[in-house]
């Protein structure tokens, strides 16, 4: 069995530790509810390698956002642990950037000011000119070079999410966490932003973990698609390696012989 196939087997996904960026071990999450404890995740094990792009799919309510928010350090861990480069996380940190479905920009601030907010926090010792250059660089990468001084409240949803992407990359995280970032966008805008995201990612090779409900998006972006079982006590159900070469174009992916095989695998998982 070659290396690539081995990684698709659940449970033995143990990579050499030098290759591992993110390690979720026996992760558990319990939410207290008026009817008693609700165990959303239990015995969830997942390793994600450096420079890997992983997409997460699973039924609504299975616990995807719960898992991602725990990796972000925004949601307490009930059991097990999460480590980044071998160190257990204790809360949020600049090593992990998050892109939410709604970018929640400061509406009264300009696009540049919004991106600068994070940059100023993470690089307090850089000069103002250096910090401005970083923010402008990423705004230009997402096609917002003509809108540095536009207020966020004047931007369309797609434009706001472009700023959200720039803001996340600009703090130069080790891991990028994306919670259905394109879920609220029309399909044309969605495609544009997928292209922008993957173009920057191809260059920066940050480890990325992205939740999506869209099977095609999951395949197009990922090195591996991780499938979560339905809750309660959700865990990793299956992992699919996507062996398409990079850089990818939508056309090359759609025309690839394996595309429908991958698609069927994911849809079969979701339907059973
Ligand atoms: N703070 C909370 N207290 C109690 N239950 C919660 C809390 N947050 C989430 N849940 C429940 O935990 C389960 C998992 O929620 P979560 O949002 O993580 O799922 P999801 O897979 O991201 O869903 P979706 O795909 O619809 O976004 C759901 O049943 C949800 O109702």
Domains of the chain: 3-95+173-271 (3.40.50.300)
Percent residues over pLDDT 90 in the chain:
92
pTM: 0.93
pLDDT band with cut points at 50, 70 and 90 for residue 13: low
Residue nearest ligand 1's atom 23 by CA: 61
b/e per residue 168-180 (b: at least 16 CB within 10 A): bbbbbbbbbbbbb
Is the ipTM of this structure higher than 0.90? yes
Distance 31 CA to ligand 1 centre (A): 9
pLDDT band with cut points at 50, 70 and 90 for residue 123: very high
Residue nearest ligand 1's atom 7 by CA: 31
Residue nearest ligand 1's atom 26 by CA: 60
Residue nearest ligand 1's atom 29 by CA: 61
Which pLDDT value is given to residue 14? 79
Whether the pLDDT of residue 192 is over 60: the answer is yes
Distance 39 CA to ligand 1 centre (A): 11
Distance 60 CA to ligand 1 centre (A): 8
Mean pLDDT, rounded, for 185-192 = 94
Which pLDDT value is given to residue 259? 97
């Amino acid at each position: 069995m070659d290396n690539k196939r081995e990684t698709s087997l659940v449970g033995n996904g143990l990579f050499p530790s030098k290759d591992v960026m993110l390690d979720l071990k026996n992760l558990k999450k319990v939410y207290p509810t008026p009817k008693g404890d609700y165990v959303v995740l239990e015995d969830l094990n997942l390793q994600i390698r450096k420079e890997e792009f992983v997409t997460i799919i699973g039924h609504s309510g299975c616990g995807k956002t719960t898992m991602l928010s725990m990796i972000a350090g925004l949601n307490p861990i009930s059991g097990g642990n999460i480590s980044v480069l071998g160190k257990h996380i204790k809360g949020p940190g600049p090593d992990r950037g998050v892109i939410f479905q709604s970018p929640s920009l400061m509406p009264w601030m300009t696009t540049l000011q919004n991106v600068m907010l994070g940059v100023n926090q993470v690089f307090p010792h850089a000069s103002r000119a250096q910090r401005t250059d970083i923010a402008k660089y990423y705004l230009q990468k997402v096609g917002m070079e003509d809108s540095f001084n536009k207020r966020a409240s004047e931007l369309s949803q797609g434009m706001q999410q472009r700023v959200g992407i720039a803001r996340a990359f600009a703090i130069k995280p080790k891991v990028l966490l994306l919670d259905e970032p394109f879920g609220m966008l029309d399909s044309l805008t969605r495609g544009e932003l997928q292209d922008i995201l993957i173009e920057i990612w191809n260059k920066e090779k940050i480890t990325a973990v992205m939740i999506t409900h869209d099977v095609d998006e999951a395949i197009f972006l990922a090195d591996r698609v991780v499938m979560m079982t339905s809750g309660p006590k959700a865990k990793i159900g299956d992992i699919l390696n996507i062996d398409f070469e990079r850089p990818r174009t939508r056309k090359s992916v759609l025309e690839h012989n394996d595309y429908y095989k991958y698609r069927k695998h994911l849809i079969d998982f979701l339907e059973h």
